[in-house]
Chains A and B, each alone.
Chain A
Amino acid sequence: MTARPELSLRDLSGSIAGPRVSDYIALLKPRVMSLVVFSGFAGLVVAPGSIHPLIAAVAILCIAVGAGASGAINMWFDRDIDAIMSRTKSRPIPAGNVDPNEALGFGLVLSFLSVLLMGMAVNWTAGSLLAFTIFFYVVIYTMWLKRRTPQNIVIGGASGAFPPMIGWAAVTGDISLASISLFLLIFMWTPPHFWALSLYREGDYAKAGVPMMPVVAGARSTKLQMLVYTLLLLPIALVPFLLHVAGPVYAVAAVLLNLGFIRHAWRVLKSPQGIMGPARAMFRYSLLYLFLHFALLMIDCNPGIIARAIDLVHALQAGVIE
């Protein structure tokens, strides 16, 4: 006789025992949020001028919540294809842990609150940019482009490129050529970053009917385009230096980082069909590339950044004591 398997209560789906708090956190796509927060913070640090530490913290909080909220709305809209793809089928909605309408409501409320708080506490330029970013990601990318064109990630990538501009606008209250250069950096980085992922997840996207570049144009054409984007990224990465946002330390590091990116793209291009190691390595490198790029930008344009961070902690402590 076969024994009935023990049912763990912790594994019960949300439709039976209700959603967990962790399901709502998963709706906010915390891993994507961390990169968005980091680039937004970089924009805030690099921007000329000063901002009260608390207002700066609120700006970062609003960027994080706004990004998470758009992720929740994206999961609501994409629940049908998320259920098909192995990478996404365990997300809270396809796993049956959160009701789709609850996820939509959660995303809409957080979007509204993040924009309102950003506008009222920081400034309305940053608030408007945040609202436009959410709109761009949800409507332009998720609802319009994602299922219609292989250029989805090229145009839709703009939504992920706005956070440094929002951080910059939080300090200065405006949009400048320098903040646009930070936008361009992420904008041009997104296609090779995402196509590296979709190269080794091609089957998933094909199964779900999402016209990602490798599915529509084939692996060879995608690899070639990835190389072109990494080559174009080199001069764009130097724009902050040319605009005197950053100094020579950044410029040298940017060239080295870009040469590494180009080398990865070349290795991906030369890799035989079906060998996914180079694409995986390029995807990992692309994350490191962006992180180091913005970290160097912050350090180079603020040589005393560590001392300022200590001052900031002291200022916050003084504020609490007062």
Chain B
Amino acid sequence: MAEPAKTVNKADPAVLAERRRRQRGRNWAVLLALVAFVVVVYAITIVKLKGS
């Protein structure tokens, strides 16, 4: 006998909470990437200025 299909209600509070959790994870990742980029550019500038 075939297994009953898994159904997902997009408006289910648990699904919405999971959506928010993943959104928060992506936001943190973008923040970290941007901060890292700024730090790298800042450090490169210092090294280049010292070099010249």
Contacts and interface: CB of A to CB of B under 8 A. Distances in A.
B19 A17 contact: yes
Given A54-B44, A58-B44, A20 B25 contact: yes
A52 B8 contact: no
Given A7-B6, A16-B10, A21-B29, A55 B22 contact: no
Nearest to A18: B22
A8 to B, nearest CB: 9
A24 interface: yes
A31 interface: no
Q: How large is the interface on A (under 10, 10 to 19, 20 to 34, 35 or more residues)?
A: 20 to 34
A24 B32 CA distance: 14
A206 interface: no
Chain B facing A: main interface SS = helix
B19 A18 contact: yes
A246 to B, nearest CB: 30
Contact of B18 (A2, A17, A61, A120): A17
A76 B38 CA distance: 28
Interface in B1-26: 1, 3-4, 6-8, 10, 14-15, 17-19, 22-23, 25-26
A54 B42 CA distance: 11
30 contacts: A2-B3, A2-B4, A4-B4, A4-B6, A4-B7, A5-B4, A5-B6, A7-B7, A9-B14, A9-B15, A10-B18, A12-B15, A12-B18, A16-B10, A17-B18, A19-B22, A19-B26, A20-B22, A20-B25, A21-B26, A24-B29, A52-B51, A55-B44, A58-B40, A58-B44, A61-B40, A120-B44, A121-B40, A121-B44, A121-B48
